[in-house]
A and B are shown apart, each in its own frame.
Chain A
Amino acid sequence: MANATTMEAPLKKEQEFVPEFAGLKVRKDSNEHRALIQEFDPEKKYVYQLAAENLELDKPVIDARTNRPLPHKPFKPFQNLIMTSQIVWNNGRVGIRYYDGCESIFVSEQPKEKDVIDQLIQQTRRRNFLDGKLIVEGYEKMLLLYLSICSWNSESLFKTTTSTAIFTPQNSERLATVESEKLDMIEEAMKYAREASLTKMLIHSAFLGIPTTDYDSGNELTEKEIRIEYRKAASKNPQSFIESYGNKQLEIKYYIDKALLNGTISNKFNPNKATWGKGNTVICDISGLKTNDAISQALFEFAKTAEGEEFVIQLKALNES
């Protein structure tokens, strides 16, 4: 086609490199670039914690003087920090190593002369995790850079897939956020626990395993007594409390269990059929099921089907009447 307009191929966007940044070429705004420009507060201390915790032994250590068990120590008393690592850098495997006083942690940028390296090795202080913790001063920039990108760091973006995760950085701000989120969750769960209607609380309490009768006397617990336990459950495990709160399925299960207990639903007319107690109207087939739990589960499964919709409506109407 002679008249066809000629089009220029779209230009491939040129990658912008940061020239010779810290002796290395890295792409602007890449993980590598971000790692190299990260800043450490010289006034702060940075804490790293061993990733692996000791399993609790079946027999605790006993303080022989007081004859009481000593607390479990979660970490080894001593573990050294390895000062050499290989990382995935600019899509390739690269060696890094830390020496006190050396201007780069990248092997390619470090001195090559044997006597200089020997000198660097000799002058480098050994660092160790004591009782699981390694504390590094904020002014140790090269060491902190090494710790943040080496493959031993479980959160390193440059970790090789084959490497062993030895430690995890203890970011105090992140820990505080986690703690704060947990507290928020407790507050939210407590709010639900305080404000839930009696019916809602009873339904949810049944799911949470909160008793409604006093074990010793056999007396029914009052609303106030149940709510105390309900609130305790909210603060103890807020996440599961919130997740299960207001769950419609729990409501149906509760109504079914209640109906089975008070005989509104039974199988006495036909052991293989669940029927409405008075009208002898068949709800569903329960052939072969003997226990209340199994029958309750079968009714619950039935309630979730299209055929069971009417059953659910009736069940709710009964409880709301």
Chain B
Amino acid sequence: MPSAIVRGATGQPGPIAYPSGITTGIFNELNFVIPEYIPGIIAKYGNSSYALVMELLGRSSVETVNTTTNTFSHFEKGRAFGSGLVDADVTSNVAGAAINITLKSPQSYNNGATGTQSPFLLNQVVKIRSNGRKFRVTNITRTTSAFVIEATPLGLYTLITGSTGTTLKAGEGLETFGNQLAGESSDSQGTMQQKMYRYDNTATVLRASTKSSDLAGMNKTQIDFGGGNFYEPALAIQTMNQNMMMDIEDAVMEGVPYANTSDTGTVGVIPAIEARGSEIDYVQYAFAIGDFQNLTNVLDANGGPREYHFLQDLKQRQDINNLLFGIYKNGAISYGSAGGDAVTSAAYGFNGFSTDTFNFHFHRYKAFGASATFGYTPTQGDYRAFYGLAVPQGMIQDAKDGATRPQLQFVYQQNPDITAGQRIYSWDLGYTKATKTTIAENKYEQIAYVGSRVLAAEQFSVLKGVAS
């Protein structure tokens, strides 16, 4: 016997009739619309430009090298030609008569724990800078704090400053030459050697980590974080990568002081240049051609190469653009070579300018600016505003091993267990990784050991706009 109507069945009364047809009201009930979206994630403040100095300047100006020890060194030699300064006025009123000249320290001799090193030797011929008069060194008294040379004129004249009077003035320049008047049956002369300097620096250690729980790592999102990865930890890892690169850049360029800690940091490129190189100041918003000439004068005096790269904050770049475009109205700005080919240079935003036998290439270096990198406008001072760093492009010969290399280096300390050349070592561990952990999470780790090396920092220069 057939049963009665089955109890428990659901779904009655079936479809709903819409006498006026379907409207959007149906979505309010079901709410299942998936909006159209761009799967990739957009950078609100533009693509994070690494603006790494290595990419900007090319391998002819910046080099990456390895070290096997935490402390690494290089050697530099000083000037080949000796000079001194007169410490106090000396009277010279008898033509041809010898006088005793006390020299100024440290410009003329090293007056410290290392003794009285000086370029002056017996029988040397020395020239007075103000008038070109020459004398012979006939005696030297190497007393600490009172280094005295006896100067006997080569000609029948007095040893004075300028062309009139009877005084060799304090501050007068004395330039040493060899024995230019050795005469017959001459004996051997004294020895001179350039000063040698050792510059040490250390690699600092940079660490970064990202941790993601099991659930955070397994919930797929609709956002493509790059490379078809739709899982959120990918974004955190990208952020870690970007931060690590900028950390390295900042550590090398600005340094990591450590005197007040028990750790070891590194002396940065800019602190080294500020201590040893030159600084040219100009008035903000009023860069003039004379400021360029100040710069070329000092670069020339310090033996800088023909080609220089400027890393500048945007404000200084604008100051220079205003000057150059103001002077060269016909657009004679050359987009020339910047350590690579012209196309590459242009792609990185260099443009060049030549004056006084020097070629300058300009590049805006984002890391100098707070606004572009960190998103705020400093109100309490900005030590890198209107700031520029002139980096010589050239290969310099190492005084120790004779190798030639760029003058700015990123020095990475190598771990023998890590693949050679790997600058940033990354590893991971966690419940889905090769190295298992008890907690259901994954950890991503990064480490880098890096320091800076500046060769012949004297040839670098800082160009700084000061507020009036």
Residue of B with least CB distance to A60: B200
Residues of B within 8 A of A172 (CB): none
Interface residue? B54 (CB, 8 A): no
B290, chain A: closest CB distance, angstroms: 7
Residue of A63, A78, A152 touching B197 (CB-CB under 8 A): A63
Residues of B within 8 A of A70 (CB): 112, 197
Complex CA distance for A73 and B106, rounded to whole angstroms: 11
Complex CA distance for A166 and B467, rounded to whole angstroms: 10
Residue of B with least CB distance to A66: B114
A50, chain B: closest CB distance, angstroms: 9
Interface residue? B433 (CB, 8 A): no
Given A59-B201, A84-B286, A121-B290, verify A163-B467 contact (CB < 8 Å).
Answer: yes
CB within 8 Å of A: which B66-81 residues: 75
Residue of A with least CB distance to B258: A58
Complex CA distance for A163 and B198, rounded to whole angstroms: 38
Could you say which of A70, A85, A121, A160 has the most chain B C-beta atoms within 10 Å of its C-beta? A70
Residue of A with least CB distance to B381: A164
Residue of B267, B280, B290, B298 touching A59 (CB-CB under 8 A): B267
Contact B257 A126, beta carbon cutoff 8 Å: no
Interface code B196-210, partner A: CB below 8 Å = 1, 0 otherwise?
111111100000000
Interface code A64-90, partner B: CB below 8 Å = 1, 0 otherwise?
111110110100111110101110000
Contact A79 B286, beta carbon cutoff 8 Å: no
Given A73-B275, A166-B281, verify A57-B113 contact (CB < 8 Å).
Answer: no
Residue of B112, B202, B257 touching A71 (CB-CB under 8 A): B112
Contact B278 A58, beta carbon cutoff 8 Å: no
A87, chain B: closest CB distance, angstroms: 9
Interface residue? A62 (CB, 8 A): yes
Given A76-B275, A78-B298, verify A58-B267 contact (CB < 8 Å).
Answer: yes
Residue of A54, A58, A164 touching B257 (CB-CB under 8 A): A58
Given A57-B271, A64-B197, A163-B467, verify A77-B265 contact (CB < 8 Å).
Answer: no
Interface residue? A55 (CB, 8 A): yes
Contact B468 A57, beta carbon cutoff 8 Å: no
A161, chain B: closest CB distance, angstroms: 10
Interface residue? B466 (CB, 8 A): yes
Contact B467 A162, beta carbon cutoff 8 Å: yes
Given A54-B274, A79-B281, verify A59-B467 contact (CB < 8 Å).
Answer: no
Interface residue? A151 (CB, 8 A): yes
Residue of B195, B196, B278, B468 touching A79 (CB-CB under 8 A): B278
Residue of A66, A68, A85 touching B468 (CB-CB under 8 A): A85
Complex CA distance for A256 and B189, rounded to whole angstroms: 75
Interface code B101-125, partner A: CB below 8 Å = 1, 0 otherwise?
0000000000011100000000000
Residues of B within 8 A of A164 (CB): 466-467
Residues of A within 8 A of B197 (CB): 61-64, 70
A109, chain B: closest CB distance, angstroms: 19
Residues of A within 8 A of B112 (CB): 70-71
Residue of A with least CB distance to B113: A68
Residues of B within 8 A of A126 (CB): 290, 294, 297
Interface residue? B279 (CB, 8 A): yes
Contact A65 B298, beta carbon cutoff 8 Å: no
Contact B271 A162, beta carbon cutoff 8 Å: no
CB within 8 Å of A: which B257-283 residues: 257-259, 265, 267, 271-272, 274-283
Residues of A within 8 A of B279 (CB): 76, 78-80
Q: How many residues of A contact B (CB 8 A)?
A: 36
A contact face: mostly helix, strand, loop, or mixed: loop
Contact B294 A162, beta carbon cutoff 8 Å: no
Residue of B with least CB distance to A55: B271
A92, chain B: closest CB distance, angstroms: 14
Residue of A with least CB distance to B276: A77
Contact B201 A63, beta carbon cutoff 8 Å: no
Interface residue? B458 (CB, 8 A): yes
Residues of A within 8 A of B286 (CB): 84
Residues of B within 8 A of A86 (CB): 468
Residue of B with least CB distance to A80: B294
Contact A59 B75, beta carbon cutoff 8 Å: no
B89, chain A: closest CB distance, angstroms: 12
Contact A57 B272, beta carbon cutoff 8 Å: yes
Residues of A within 8 A of B199 (CB): 59, 61-62
Contact A59 B202, beta carbon cutoff 8 Å: yes
A78, chain B: closest CB distance, angstroms: 4
Residues of B within 8 A of A135 (CB): 171
Residues of A within 8 A of B283 (CB): 82, 84-85
B304, chain A: closest CB distance, angstroms: 12
Residues of A within 8 A of B257 (CB): 55, 58
Residues of A within 8 A of B271 (CB): 55, 57
Residue of A with least CB distance to B399: A64
Interface code A199-234, partner B: CB below 8 Å = 1, 0 otherwise?
000000000000000000000000000000000000
Given A63-B195, A76-B278, verify A58-B467 contact (CB < 8 Å).
Answer: no
Residues of B within 8 A of A79 (CB): 278-281
Contact A54 B196, beta carbon cutoff 8 Å: no
B377, chain A: closest CB distance, angstroms: 15
Given A58-B257, A58-B259, A84-B286, verify A63-B278 contact (CB < 8 Å).
Answer: no
Residues of A within 8 A of B265 (CB): 58
CB within 8 Å of A: which B385-421 residues: none
Contact B274 A76, beta carbon cutoff 8 Å: yes
Could you say which of A59, A70, A76, A151 has the most chain B C-beta atoms within 10 Å of its C-beta? A59
Residues of B within 8 A of A77 (CB): 276-278, 458
Residues of A within 8 A of B282 (CB): 82
Contact A163 B468, beta carbon cutoff 8 Å: yes
Residues of B within 8 A of A58 (CB): 202, 257-259, 265, 267
Residue of A with least CB distance to B71: A59
Residues of A within 8 A of B274 (CB): 54, 76
B457, chain A: closest CB distance, angstroms: 10
B429, chain A: closest CB distance, angstroms: 34
Residue of A with least CB distance to B278: A78
Residue of B114, B200, B290, B466 touching A68 (CB-CB under 8 A): B114
- Between A and B, 18 residue pairs with Cβ closer than 8 Å are A57-B271, A58-B258, A61-B198, A62-B199, A63-B195, A76-B274, A77-B277, A77-B278, A78-B279, A80-B280, A82-B283, A84-B468, A85-B468, A121-B290, A126-B294, A151-B468, A160-B468, A162-B467
Q: A68-B113, A84-B286 are in contact. List 7 more A-B contacts (CB 8 A).
A: A58-B202, A58-B258, A76-B274, A77-B278, A80-B280, A80-B298, A82-B282
Question: B residues touching A (Cβ–Cβ < 8 Å)?
Answer: 75, 112-114, 171, 195-202, 257-259, 265, 267, 271-272, 274-283, 286, 290, 294, 297-298, 301, 458, 466-468
